[in-house]
Amino acid sequence: MSIDWGSVPDWFAGAGAVIALVFARSAVVSAKQTNEAQAKQIEQLEEDRTDRDKERRAEQATNIAVWVSTNVEGGEDQPVIRLVNSSPLPVYNMLIVCRTPSTAGEETYTVIGPLSGRRTLTRVSAVLRDVIADQDFAGMHDRGAVQVSCSFRDSAGRWWFRTVDGELHPADGRDTAERAARRGTPDPRSMEH
C-alpha cells in the first residue's frame, strides 16, 4: 500500500494555509489587546472628565470657609467666628454651627457676598460667646474643643457643608447639608455620589 503525499504545489498550499492561520490568530490576539488598551484609555478619560466636572462644580464652594479665632479686646482673648468667601459670587442660606463638647448654637445668614479678605461674623460670634459662657475659651480653643461647621448653597443652586475639620462635601439638598453641619461630620448614607 502506498501513501499519496500529494504534489509540491499541494504542500505549498497547505503550508501557506497553516501560516495564514498563525498570522490570523496573531492578528486576533493583537486586536484584542488593542481593544483592551483602548477600553482602559476610555475609562481613564471618563474618570478624568468626572474629576474635572466635580472640580468645576466645587470651584465656588472651595473658596468658602469658616473657623474659630480670637480677637483681643480689653487685653482679653474674645472668641469670634471668621469667614472668607474669596469666590466672585455670593453664597446663600449659610448655616453656621458653633459647638463645645457640652453645648452648641447656630446662626443663619441669608446671603454672604464676595469678600476681599476675612470677615468677623458678629451675630454668630455672639452665639459662640453664649455657647462658651463661663468656660475657659483659651484652653478649650487650644484643645480643639471649640468647633465650627457650616452649610450653604452656591450660586448654581448646589448645597455643600464643611465639617468641623474643614472638609468640604456636597449634599443632596438643604436638609442633608444642614443636618451634616449640625452634626459636624458627614453622614455617608446621605452624601451625593
| Residues of the domain holding 23 | 7-58
* CATH code, domain with 74: 2.60.40
Tens of pLDDT, residues 162-189: 999 999 999 999 999 999 999 988 765 5
Dump pLDDT digits (tens) for 109-167: 999 999 988 899 989 999 998 888 888 888 888 888 899 999 999 999 999 999 999 99
| Domains: count for the chain | 2
Task: Give the cell for residue 20.
Answer: 495564514
Statement to judge: residues 91 and 137 lie in one domain: yes
176 part of a folded domain: yes
Higher-pLDDT residue of 34, 189: 34
Are 98 and 114 found together in one domain?
yes
Is the pTM for the entire model greater than 0.75?
no
Residues in the chain: 193
Say whether both 29 and 105 belong to one domain: no
* Domain membership flag for residue 161: yes
Say if CB 146 and CB 79 are below 8 A apart.
yes
On whether both 161 and 99 belong to a single domain, the answer is yes
For residues 46 and 131, state if they share a domain.
no
Q: How far is CA 129 from CA 2, 26, 137, 172, 188, in A?
A: 111, 76, 9, 32, 31
pLDDT for res 188: 53
Do 152 and 84 touch, CB atoms closer than 8 A? no
- C-alpha cell of 111? 446671603
User: What's the Rg (C-alpha) of the chain?
Assistant: 32
Are 105 and 24 found together in one domain?
no
